[in-house]
Chain A
Amino acid sequence: MSGLTQQERYEKGLNFFGAIARSLSHQLANVMAILTELTGLLEDLLYAAGQGPPLDPARVENVVGRIGKQLERGTSFIKQLNRFGHSVDHPKTSLEAGEILERVVGYSRRFATLKKMTLNHSRPGTDIPMEGSPFDLQHVLYRCFDAALSASRQGSELAVVLEAAEGGARFSFSGQAAGDSKEEVSARLALARQLVEGVGGTLDSATDTGKPIRLVAFLPASLRLLSADARERD
């Protein structure tokens, strides 16, 4: 059903893990670089004050405020990275679809930014309980985002709506065509579909050039484990 061999599923999972770890650590490196410069700027101000004109408290306050903002930003990346690392701890656990969607939106935001795109998402006010591997669910949603981003026009907006559906959850992606080459979009879409089907779901898609993009992934409340799926089939 999922059309991928165990080895391919393993490699795709590892590739996803690497992409997210790289992206978050890259953003963290940027924060560290900014903090290095801001603390350097404070040193510069102190040095200049030692040479003559008195230290301007407003200027120092401004730099301290900017340091605070970067510390908050860095802390958020560390939390995301830590939570992501822990997502491989349990192959089967209780999940909440909205919470996992929020996480994947967080991971995908930088990939969208690199394409000058904005990501918008909405989730219902009530929880949508699911059961399965948090890593698999994140992987599947990430591949859906990846396919939708690939199909979308640079500079456009991609919207994701989560809704409860009978027996599971529905994730609807909508955006504006056209993005990457047809071959590129097809390859990413095929992988997303294979993984969605691998956890027991279905993926409907429309990514024709010139028409609005629509990807609808239905995922069952009880997700099949991608690795168990591999054991059964290979």
Chain B
Amino acid sequence: MTGNKILLVDDEEEFARTMAERLEARGLRVDVAFSGTEALEQAQKKNFDAVILDLAMPGMDGIATLKKFREINPDLQIIILTGQATVEKGVEAMKLGAVDLMEKPADLKDLLAKIEDASSKKALLVEKHIDEQLKDIMGKKGW
């Protein structure tokens, strides 16, 4: 858990700041974005173990942001944390590749467990890609 790098995306600035403060107190490294556009800019510059994403945001909403995230990095583990959790939105988000959906207010222990799961999945995917790349290189060299 300690050291996992998280991107927290929420237009409710007070919520994002407070949640970030609490997650950081538990050893996570947290970057905050207050809009979908800002989040995508950060995701292009940095590598995150997991993203915590709100759905109802001004301008580019959570679903549109999720689609763009998947285009930038299909391995990105995205947890939806929203006050607008309808079944339809949840299904749509999961179909688009979100790994989990939580309703606000969320229990911090549950959220931490989901971040841990997401980060483990991300680590496995990274390992898998490295293996594939190594096999590819070795194949090309005839080893």
Q: Do A and B come from one complex?
A: yes
Q: What is the 8 Å Cβ interface bit string for chain A, positions 99-115, against chain B (1 contact, 0 not)?
A: 00000000000000111
- Contact (Cβ within 8 A) A30 B15: yes
Whether B41 sits at the interface, judged by CB under 8 Å, is no
Whether A14 sits at the interface, judged by CB under 8 Å, is no
Report B17 CB to chain A, min CB distance, Å.
Answer: 9
Candidates B15, B21, B58, B61; contact of A113 at CB < 8 Å: B58
Report B59 CB to chain A, min CB distance, Å.
Answer: 5
Candidates A41, A66, A114, A116; contact of B22 at CB < 8 Å: A41
- Contact (Cβ within 8 A) B59 A116: yes
Candidates B22, B83, B108; contact of A26 at CB < 8 Å: B83
Cβ of A26: which chain B residues have Cβ within 8 Å of it? 56, 83-84
Residue tally, chain A, CB below 8 Å to B: 22
- Contact (Cβ within 8 A) A40 B22: yes
Whether A32 sits at the interface, judged by CB under 8 Å, is yes
- Contact (Cβ within 8 A) A32 B105: yes
Whether B92 sits at the interface, judged by CB under 8 Å, is no
- Contact (Cβ within 8 A) B59 A37: no
Cβ of B57: which chain A residues have Cβ within 8 Å of it? 114
Candidates A37, A44, A154; contact of B15 at CB < 8 Å: A37
- The residue among B15, B59, B84 with the most chain A CB atoms within 10 A of its own CB is B15
Once bound together, how far apart are the Cα atoms of A26 and B82, in whole Å?
10
Closest to A114 in B: B58
Once bound together, how far apart are the Cα atoms of A30 and B18, in whole Å?
13
Counted as pairs of residues, one from A and one from B, with CB atoms less than 8 Å apart, the total is 56
Whether B67 sits at the interface, judged by CB under 8 Å, is no
Candidates B12, B25, B106, B108; contact of A34 at CB < 8 Å: B12
**Interface SS majority for chain A:** helix
- The residue among A33, A70, A154 with the most chain B CB atoms within 10 A of its own CB is A33
- Contact (Cβ within 8 A) B22 A33: no
Once bound together, how far apart are the Cα atoms of A34 and B83, in whole Å?
11
- Contact (Cβ within 8 A) B14 A70: yes
- Contact (Cβ within 8 A) A33 B58: no
Cβ of B106: which chain A residues have Cβ within 8 Å of it? 33
Once bound together, how far apart are the Cα atoms of A69 and B14, in whole Å?
10
Report B79 CB to chain A, min CB distance, Å.
Answer: 15
- Contact (Cβ within 8 A) B105 A48: no
- Contact (Cβ within 8 A) A41 B21: yes
Whether A38 sits at the interface, judged by CB under 8 Å, is yes
Which chain A residues (38-52) contact chain B, with CB distance < 8 Å?
Answer: 38, 40-41, 44, 48
- Contact (Cβ within 8 A) B14 A34: yes
- Contact (Cβ within 8 A) A40 B104: no
Whether B40 sits at the interface, judged by CB under 8 Å, is no
Interface residues of A (CB under 8 A from B): 26, 29-30, 32-38, 40-41, 44, 48, 66, 69-70, 113-116, 154
Q: A26-B84, A29-B105, A33-B15 are in contact. List 4 more A-B contacts (CB 8 A).
A: A30-B104, A48-B25, A116-B58, A116-B59
